[in-house]
Structure 1
Amino acid sequence: MSKLTEQELRDLTSWAESDGPADSGVTLSEDDADRAAQRILRMVGRPSLGHRQATGEGSSPRRQVRLPHTLNHELDEYARCERTTASEVIRLAVSEYLHHHKPDLANAEA
């Protein structure tokens, strides 16, 4: 596996941010492409998930949770296999859980 030079990374970043053709002249293996994508994401950051994201205001609320080692490992492995992040898996899992386990608020107030 070859390592990308800083110039190749800058060229790939420029290409990814442009409307250029798909053939950039650089061919990456699957692992190299994954590493390049992660480096690019670290350079540019991730957008806020807050409701005011479109206006550039506000920030995403952050929650912290402790996981048993085995569950944490399973989460990391799942995210790696699905080519996503643990944070995205957690967001989807919480959303799905809440969607399927909505409390009956009318009876909860009684």
Structure 2
Amino acid sequence: MTHNAEDEEILKQWIRRLSQALQIVDLEVDNDLILTVAGEAAHAVSPTAAPITTFMVGYAAGLAATNSEVTSRTAVARAADVVIAVCQKPENEHPDTTGWVNTAQ
């Protein structure tokens, strides 16, 4: 997902501001990836799924980065890949019917 330079600068300032407020040191955010995940969730489910999905990606990535030796960037990428795969599956295909081997769980 692309956006203009002004939006990019606003996002960078917002991320810096939030990082400081939340006391998160050296946070690198892949804006395009997060926006892609939000867009996939909004399209696959509903617009309200986007913020919840991005929160869950961050939470899963935080757990993965804390419990293993992967970087936060890698953990976010892995969680995002799972979300995008789930969003692209047919609605009637879910863990109860097929099991999701090799996902974040």
Higher relative contact order (CA 8 A, sep 6+): 2
Name the TM-score, length of structure 2 as normaliser.
0.28
Larger helix percent: 2
Larger Rg over CA atoms: 1
TM-score, scaled to structure 1: 0.28
